[in-house]
Amino acid sequence: MSYQVFTYEQPFELESGERLPGLQIAYHTYGRPTSGISNVVWAFHALTANSDVFSWWPGLFGENDFFNPKDNFIVCANVLGSPYGSTCPHDLDFPQFTVRDVVRAHLLLAEHLQVDHIKVIIGGSFGGSQALEFALLFSGRIENMILVASAACETAWGIAVHEAQRLALQADNTFGLPGGGGKGLQAARAVGMLTYRTAEAFMATQTDTDERTDHFSAASYIRYQAEKLERRFDALAYYYLTKCMDSHNVGRGRGGLPKALAGINIRTLIIGIDSDRLLPVALQKYMARHIPGAVYKEIASEYGHDGFLVETTKLTAVIRQFLVEKQVRQLPARELAGLMAGDEDFQLIDVREPFEVAIASIGGINIPLKDIPTR
3-state secondary structure of 156: helix
We find the least distance from the C-beta atom of residue 351 to a second copy, in angstroms, to be 48
Indicate the residue among 109 and 169 with the shorter CB distance to a second copy.
169
We find the least distance from the C-beta atom of residue 265 to a second copy, in angstroms, to be 23
Choices 29-37, 41-49, 185-193, 291-299 (CB under 8 A): range interacting with a second copy: 185-193
Residue 151 to residue 280: CA distance in whole angstroms: 9
93 lies in the binding site for a second copy (CB under 8 A): no
Known active-site residue 305 = yes
Indicate the residue among 215 and 329 with the shorter CB distance to a second copy.
215
Express the helix, strand and coil content of the chain in percent, nearest 5 each: 40, 15, 45
Q: Which of residues 144-163 bind a second copy (CB under 8 A)?
A: 155-157, 159-163
95 lies in the binding site for a second copy (CB under 8 A): no
| Best CA proximity match to 76, nearest among 111, 30, 16 | 30
Residue 243: C-alpha distances to residues 18, 97, 99, 207 (Å)? 16, 8, 9, 34
Known active-site residue 90 = no
Choice among 38, 51, 125, 129 that is catalytic:
125
Contacts 24+ apart (CB under 8 A), 51-54: 51/3, 51/26, 51/27, 51/76, 51/77, 51/78, 51/84, 51/85, 52/1, 52/3, 52/28, 52/76, 53/28, 54/1, 54/28, 54/30
Residue 23 to residue 35: CA distance in whole angstroms: 29
48 lies in the binding site for a second copy (CB under 8 A): no
We find the least distance from the C-beta atom of residue 48 to a second copy, in angstroms, to be 16
343 lies in the binding site for a second copy (CB under 8 A): no
Please pick, from the candidates 193, 262, 339, 360, the single residue that binds a second copy as defined by CB under 8 A: 193
Indicate the residue among 218 and 331 with the shorter CB distance to a second copy.
218
Known active-site residue 106 = no
Indicate the residue among 4 and 225 with the shorter CB distance to a second copy.
225
Burial (0-12, 13-18, 19+ Cβ within 10 Å), 229: buried
We find the least distance from the C-beta atom of residue 217 to a second copy, in angstroms, to be 7
DSSP for 74-103, written as a single string: EEEEPPTT-TTTS---SSTTSPP--HHHHH
Q: Which of residues 100-139 bind a second copy (CB under 8 A)?
A: none
Residue 181 to residue 24: CA distance in whole angstroms: 24
Choice among 52, 172, 234, 276 that is catalytic:
276
Indicate the residue among 219 and 337 with the shorter CB distance to a second copy.
219
Choices 20-28, 65-73, 128-136, 272-280 (CB under 8 A): range interacting with a second copy: 272-280
Residue 341: C-alpha distances to residues 292, 336, 338, 346, 368 (Å)? 20, 9, 5, 12, 22
We find the least distance from the C-beta atom of residue 322 to a second copy, in angstroms, to be 28
Please pick, from the candidates 52, 133, 234, 246, the single residue that binds a second copy as defined by CB under 8 A: 246
289 lies in the binding site for a second copy (CB under 8 A): no
Please pick, from the candidates 7, 10, 16, 55, the single residue that binds a second copy as defined by CB under 8 A: 16
Task: Show the CA angle centred on residue 300, arms to residues 298 and 302, nearest 5°.
Answer: 140
DSSP for 212-250, written as a single string: -SSS-HHHHHHHHHHHHHHHH--HHHHHHHHHHHHT-BT
| Best CA proximity match to 35, nearest among 122, 141, 138, 117 | 117
Indicate the residue among 119 and 183 with the shorter CB distance to a second copy.
183
Choice among 234, 247, 305, 306 that is catalytic:
305
Give catalytic residue positions. Answer: 125, 276, 305
- For binding to a second copy (CB under 8 A), which residues are involved? 15-16, 96, 98, 155-157, 159-164, 167-174, 183-184, 186-187, 190-191, 193-195, 199-200, 202-203, 205-208, 211, 213-214, 216-219, 221-223, 226, 243, 246-247, 249, 251-253, 277-278, 280
